[in-house]
Amino acid sequence: MNKNKKSLMQQLRSSRILRVMFGRKIIVVCTAVLLIMILMAVFAPLVAPYNPNADDLYNVLKGSSPEHLLGTDQNGRDILSRIIYGGRVSFTVGFVAVAISSLIGMALGLIAGIAGGVTETIIMRVMDAMSAVPMLILALFLGAILGQGLGNVCLAIGISMVPGYARITRGQVLSVRNADYVTAGTLCGGSKIRNSIVHVLPNCLSANIVTMTGSLGGAILAEANLSFLGMGIVPPTPSWGAMVSGGYKFLNTKPVIAIAPGIAIILVVLCFNMVGDALRDAMDPKLRGTLGKGAKKHRKARRRKGA
């Protein structure tokens, strides 16, 4: 009976979060755009009209045409096909880097919050030192050490984003580690490790899930920056950042080479940030209900209070 009641409450909470999250049309549009772009990247061999790495020196810097909707680049390669395949690299880096950073950061934050004392001090001071360096600079430093390549780029960006997850997880752990259910688990004979995994960690996931959604856009943007600076994906593998880097030389004669992948970067990062903000608003009880149909009403109420 209790299990059925608990599962029913979880279903109601999930449906409420989804209802609040998708209460604005812009979030629905952003989610649809992301899904379309992800599906295009996954099924790139079926969607892309040409091989993205096939040089065609007879069709160098051609304009838009029925054969090449966005034209060709300086090597005669189809720009649209390279953008579609470049999405594979960007989304792969985004998801893998966020997975690496969240797993390492949550583990460090959990250990710091539970252990306390010297262990907590050492972990958090290291995180402070890493946080003192901007993420892109740290990613550049790690990229220079690890070298080019998809795996190294994912690792460099993932490590540079660890401090954020460690701080969030530690804060969540400190707020729940003395809760009644954790104390009850200890009194029932549960070890500190078991209580940490079974009782403490699940209560840290919601805040980290929101952070993951927002970090996806940052990871994709970091990969584009690294590729633009020549420290990312090895050519001729298509990458949005590398395409912008190679196309900026032709801004006067063929601007679409650099502008088209730049628009793809902006669109994906913007959509991920919008979805992340909506997920944060839906999962935060203090902000819940301020979206959707009641958004105008709540904004007017806030204005009256401010006045």
Q: What is the dihedral of CA 22, 24, 27, 29, to 10 degrees?
A: 110
User: Considering the domain boundaries, does residue 207 fall inside one?
Assistant: no
Residue type, 64: S
User: Considering the domain boundaries, does residue 188 fall inside one?
Assistant: no
User: Considering the domain boundaries, does residue 260 fall inside one?
Assistant: yes
Q: Is the pLDDT of residue 100 over 90?
A: yes
Name the burial class of residue 236, with classes exposed (0-12), middle (13-18) and buried (19+) by CB atoms within 10 angstroms of its CB.
middle
How many separate domains does the chain show?
1
Which two three-digit tokens encode residue 296? 């105008």
Burial track 203-232 (b if 16+ CB lie within 10 A, e otherwise): bbeebbebbbbbbbbbbbbbbbbbbbeebb
User: Considering the domain boundaries, does residue 62 fall inside one?
Assistant: no
Q: What is the CATH number of the domain that holds 257?
A: 1.10.3720
Domain around 35: 17-46+70-170+213-293
User: Considering the domain boundaries, does residue 163 fall inside one?
Assistant: yes
Residue type, 133: V
Residue 266 parent element (H or E)? helix 256-283
User: Considering the domain boundaries, does residue 12 fall inside one?
Assistant: no
Q: What is the pLDDT of residues 196-251, one digit of tens each?
A: 777 777 777 878 888 888 788 888 888 888 888 878 787 788 888 888 888 888 88
The position carrying tokens 């550049």 is 140
Q: What is the pTM of this model?
A: 0.79
User: Considering the domain boundaries, does residue 190 fall inside one?
Assistant: no
User: Considering the domain boundaries, does residue 184 fall inside one?
Assistant: no
